[in-house]
Structure formats: structure tokens, C-alpha cells
Amino acid sequence: MPSWKDQMPSLGTLGPLIALVLACGFFALQSEQFLTGANFSLILQQVMVVGLIAIGQTLIILTAGIDLSCGMVMALGGVVMTKMAHDHGLHPIVAISIGFAVTAGFGLINGLLVTRIKLPSFIVTLGTMNIAFALTQLYSQSQTITDLPAGMTLLGNTFAIGQTQVAYGTVVMLAMYALSWLWLRDTATGRHIYAVGNNPEATRLTGIATHKVLLLVYVLAGLCYGLAALLSVARTGVGDPNAGQTENLDAITAVVLGGTSLFGGRGMIIGSLIGALIVGVFRNGLTLMGVSSVYQILITGILVILAVATDQLSRKGGR
């Protein structure tokens, strides 16, 4: 019996947005600086790297997988592209392309191990996480790469909207969310990603090449990490071998907070943006309040457990 309930977005969809609005309201009351254009632009810049990683992570989690290597692969991509530009004097576009090839290559390896050898994504990416980290340190000799050509950091530049300076990178991130949202919602491949996460066997039996879908998802995620690496380089102005270490789990946190189910097949990519913003707003707001960063981590942990518990309970209620 169809009822109004079918037409309404579920709690899983609206919940994150409500949480974000409540958090913003709370911090606006606590700090006068919070509710300013400059502060929001800053929050967006602070979340743009995590936000982009979270796009790739969302794709993978939608297929009922998980990618623990995301931040480390991003760090490797960043080091590769900056060293190509700095050490070998390659044109930024070439250097960036090589970085993208490396991150996409890692995605391909993850995808092949998951689809061909049928290893759980958790184990595969636990392995590639360590491999990517070690390669990053070896290749960079744990040295930060500086003196980058201007072309490498273009996306860190800002433009003015009224009084507020907005970084190009944040626009790139928002555009990527819009694109991936439309792609997931309105194309056959996008719907197949949901179907694979929902019921892989049924999806395979309808004639969909589920392995190709999974492989595509892991490679696209790798490309997202490459773009995140570029944004990270643009934001910091250096190639940092220790980048990505907080982003690694923050990206998963953002996806989960955004209401995407870890069981696969359910969720909206826009939710991950909201999830990333929730983490960003909490960090920013608590900093403005002068709360120690340890408490920020504590609160993030509590939020994640709340989000996963909500997912689990709503699934039980749905049946």
C-alpha cells in the first residue's frame, strides 16, 4: 500500500541535513565569528580534500565495499605529481596526469583484487593502504616537496564573491558532487552501482557485468583521490608525504554521517558532502570556542557511532 511515507525522504536522508543545521545553529550562538562568509569559505576549504575523497569512498561503500587506502593513495598521488613537476621539471599538466595515473592505478589494483580474487575490500585496501604509505615515504624520502610551479597550485587561488574570498578548489569539489549526484541518479551505470550494493547476485543475473561495475567504481574512486591530491597540493602549496592521514578515516566518517549505508546500495552522494561539512563545522566551531582538538576527535567518534546505529536501526525498522 503506497502511502505518504514512500514519497517522503527517509530519516537516513534528512537526518544528516538536520544535524548540520543544528550544529551550525549551536555554533552561531557560541561564537560571533562562526556565521560569517569568510568562516564558511574557510570551512569549505578545510573540507574540500576530505569532501573529494568522500566521493570516491561513497561510490565504493555504495557497492558494499570500503576503501581504507583512500588517504594514503591520495598522499602518494600528491607526492608523485609534485616530484614530477619539481624534480623532473615536467609541465604541471603532465605531472598532474602522472599523479592521476598512479591513484587510478591503485584503484585498479584494489578493484582487480576485489573482483578477480574475490578478496574482501576491507583486507585488500588495508594492504594497499600500507603499500601506498610506504611507497610515498620511500619515493619522497619523507621529505616535503616545495618550490612548485604556479600551475600546480592554481586551484588554491581564490576569487571574490562580494566580501568573501572563495577558493577555486571548493568550486571544483562542489561541481564534482553535482556531477556525481546526477550520474548516480540518472544513468544506467549509476543505478547499477546501487543495484550491485543492494543484491549483487540478482544484479549479475539480470545480465549486468557486475565485475565491470565494481572495477569502474574503484578506478573512479582512484581518480577522485588524484583530484583530492591536487586540491591538497594547491591548498598547502607543497607535496606532503604525511598528507591524508586524518583524511583517510575522515572520509569514511563523512560518508557514514551522510547516511550512506555500510551494507551497500543505499544512500545519496550529497549526504557525504553534508557529512564532510558536519565534521568540518564541528572542528571549526569547537576551535572557535577554544575547545581542545582532542575533544573534536572525541565528538567525531560519537557522531560516527550514532550515524551507524541510526542506519542499523532504520534497516531493522524498515523490514
Q: Does residue 147 sit in helix, strand or coil?
A: coil
297 is an interface residue for other proteins by CB under 8 A: no
Please say whether the beta carbons of 37 and 237 come within 8 A: no
CB of 2 to other proteins, least distance (A): 4
Cα(223)–Cα(73) distance, integer angstroms: 10
- The C-alpha angle 249, 309, 296, rounded to 5 degrees, equals 45
Using CB under 8 A, which of the segments 1-9, 30-38, 88-96, 219-227 binds other proteins? 1-9
CB of 14 to other proteins, least distance (A): 16
Cβ–Cβ contacts within 10 Å for residue 32, how many?
9
Question: Could you say which residues in the range 233-292 bind other proteins, by CB under 8 A?
Answer: 265-266
Our CB check for other proteins shows the closer of 190 and 285 to be 190
Using CB under 8 A, which of the segments 104-112, 138-146, 191-199, 225-233 binds other proteins? 191-199
Q: Does residue 267 sit in helix, strand or coil?
A: coil
CB of 214 to other proteins, least distance (A): 15
Please state the three-class secondary structure of 53-101 as a single string. HHHHHHHHHHCCCCCCCHHHHHHHHHHHHHHHHHCCCCCHHHHHHHHHH
Could you give the angle at which helices 92-115 and 210-236 cross, rounded to 10 degrees?
Answer: 140
CB of 201 to other proteins, least distance (A): 7
> Residues 32, 147, 186, 290: which binds other proteins (CB under 8 A)?
186
CB of 211 to other proteins, least distance (A): 12
Our CB check for other proteins shows the closer of 18 and 202 to be 202
193 is an interface residue for other proteins by CB under 8 A: no
> Residues 158, 199, 236, 314: which binds other proteins (CB under 8 A)?
199
Please say whether the beta carbons of 49 and 228 come within 8 A: yes
168 is an interface residue for other proteins by CB under 8 A: no
Cα(221)–Cα(241) distance, integer angstroms: 20
Using CB under 8 A, which of the segments 90-98, 137-145, 195-203, 224-232 binds other proteins? 195-203
316 is an interface residue for other proteins by CB under 8 A: no
187 is an interface residue for other proteins by CB under 8 A: yes
End-to-end CA distance of the chain: 15
Cα(51)–Cα(19) distance, integer angstroms: 17
> Residues 201, 294, 316, 317: which binds other proteins (CB under 8 A)?
201
Using CB under 8 A, which of the segments 38-46, 165-173, 188-196, 214-222 binds other proteins? 188-196
Q: Does residue 166 sit in helix, strand or coil?
A: strand
Question: Could you say which residues in the range 36-95 bind other proteins, by CB under 8 A?
Answer: none
Using CB under 8 A, which of the segments 20-28, 170-178, 185-193, 291-299 binds other proteins? 185-193
Cα(319)–Cα(315) distance, integer angstroms: 7
Using CB under 8 A, which of the segments 142-150, 182-190, 285-293, 300-308 binds other proteins? 182-190
**Chain centroid, CA 289 distance in Å:** 27
Name which of 131, 125, 148 is nearest 78 in CA terms. 148
| Interface with other proteins (CB under 8 A) | 1-2, 6-7, 186-189, 191-192, 194-195, 198-199, 201-208, 265-266, 318-319
